[in-house]
Amino acid sequence: MKNILCKNYQIHINNWSAFNKAIVKLKPSSVFVLADENTEKYCLSNLFEHLESRFNVISIPSGENHKTINTCQFVWSELVKNGADRQSLMINLGGGVVGDLGGFCAATYMRGIRFVQVPTTLLSQVDASVGGKLGVDFMGYKNMVGLIRDPSGVFIFTDFLKTLPQDQMRSGYAELLKHGLIADRETWDELSRNKTIQGLDIEDMVYQSLMIKKTVTERDPNEKGLRKILNFGHTIGHAVESYWMDSRTPLLHGEAVAIGIVGEAYLSYRVGNISENELFDIRNTILDVYGHHPKYVKPTGELIEIMKTDKKNSQGHIRFALLEAVGQACYDVEVRQDTIEESFLFYQQKM
């Protein structure tokens, strides 16, 4: 069991006793658990076993395509119907969609009720559960509407990962790789050698990744500067994910970010920050883990138009978080459109 003390809340890893004590200490007038059909089936029984407080369950469909204002309206209506007041508590039991959307609903209901994050996927445990970013997709754009609000606590149970299919674990692995690339070369070296979550100490890897994100987000809670480095791989990745979201072959978030990591590693090379050997090491590692899917970086023009809506941009110029070196990152790097197009070509090449 590990514990991470953040500025306004604590992150507990594999500690059901701390979870129950925290809920009791909050003294909520009522408790609501937000789940999707997967966490309702595989994870909810653990709350029945460990949570002493009675609670109401609100169930939403799983998947990024349901991370919308329409789903929020359903959640808000369920809170109203069941008498939720300003002393109520929302427990978000699920992956990134449940955590982002549930936190957003809680933070805006009656101008804000308390909420607790219980992330159940590797991706949400090492990424979405930390830093207070909440929100929903809008008009096909990722996380276009949202806010930053800290939870009352984060409770991570790595046993939940045993319920996940392999593609979901691989999706979360992309964030572990990203954290190593931007902040800890030793972590990157270990993960790139291993190329799979199998054989790793999961609790330790989650803890190390959380510490990287905690350090960055506490230094820049409102994403005015340093926190932008956490977006490495995401400018291209979010564009790819958004474009293909409603297709017959959508990508998981981590799969899209993996493509983005290759593209943005190329941009880091082109601006002179990393060597050619380091670039190909990153590319080969990503392709070994995620395979090679060149169709997803087409059509170039449409992807770049989506990238122009990225929140890091200024005055119509596309800005990136890039590698300054392997294990270090920089932010607000403006890149020419023709160089971005080169990065797509680099990913497409067979090597």
Say whether 25 is catalytic: no
Q: Could you tell me the domains of the chain?
A: 2-163 (3.40.50.1970), 170-348 (1.20.1090.10)
pLDDT digits (tens, 9 = 90+) for 210-236: 999 999 999 999 899 999 999 999 999
Say whether 111 is catalytic: yes
Query: Which one from 12, 67, 170, 253 is the annotated catalytic residue?
Result: 253
193 confidence band (pLDDT: 50, 70, 90): confident
Say whether 234 is catalytic: yes
Query: Which one from 234, 270, 283, 312 is the annotated catalytic residue?
Result: 234
pTM: 0.92
Say whether 293 is catalytic: no
Say whether 227 is catalytic: yes
pLDDT digits (tens, 9 = 90+) for 88-97: 999 999 999 9
Query: Which one from 227, 228, 312, 319 is the annotated catalytic residue?
Result: 227
Q: What is the pLDDT of residue 195?
A: 72
DSSP letter, residue 348: H
Locate all alpha helices (DSSP H) within the chain, ordered by sequence: 16-26, 37-42, 44-50, 69-81, 96-108, 122-123, 166-183, 185-194, 202-219, 234-244, 253-270, 276-290, 300-307, 337-348
Residues of the chain with pLDDT > 90, as a percent, come to 86
Which range is least confidently modeled, 113-117, 203-207, 275-279, 292-296? 203-207
351 confidence band (pLDDT: 50, 70, 90): low
Q: What is the pLDDT of residue 228?
A: 96
Say whether 276 is catalytic: no
Say whether 308 is catalytic: no
Give the residue from 116, 109, 115 showing the smallest Cα distance to 83.
109
Query: Which one from 67, 133, 142, 170 is the annotated catalytic residue?
Result: 133
6 φψ region: left (φ > 0), alpha (ψ -120 to 50), beta (else): beta
Q: Which long-range contacts (CB under 8 A, 24 or more apart) does 197-206 make?
A: 197/122, 197/169, 197/170, 197/172, 197/173, 202/158, 202/161, 203/2, 203/13, 203/14, 203/158, 205/126, 205/176, 206/13, 206/122, 206/125, 206/126, 206/156, 206/158
The token duo for 102 is: 């549930």
Task: Provide the β-strand partners of residue 314.
Answer: 317
Quick one: average pLDDT of 57-83?
97
* One-letter amino acid for residue 337 of the chain: Q
Say whether 66 is catalytic: no
Q: What is the pLDDT of residue 165?
A: 92
Q: What is the pLDDT of residue 316?
A: 74
The token duo for 120 is: 């159940």
Distance CA 95, CA 98 (A): 6
Q: What is the mean pLDDT of the chain?
A: 94
Task: Provide the β-strand partners of residue 57.
Answer: 33
Query: Which one from 231, 241, 255, 283 is the annotated catalytic residue?
Result: 231
Task: Provide the β-strand partners of residue 91.
Answer: 33, 116
pLDDT digits (tens, 9 = 90+) for 124-146: 999 867 889 999 999 988 999 99
158 has pLDDT over 80: yes
Q: Nearest 5°: CA angle at 346, between 231 and 124?
A: 30
Residues of the chain with pLDDT > 70, as a percent, come to 99
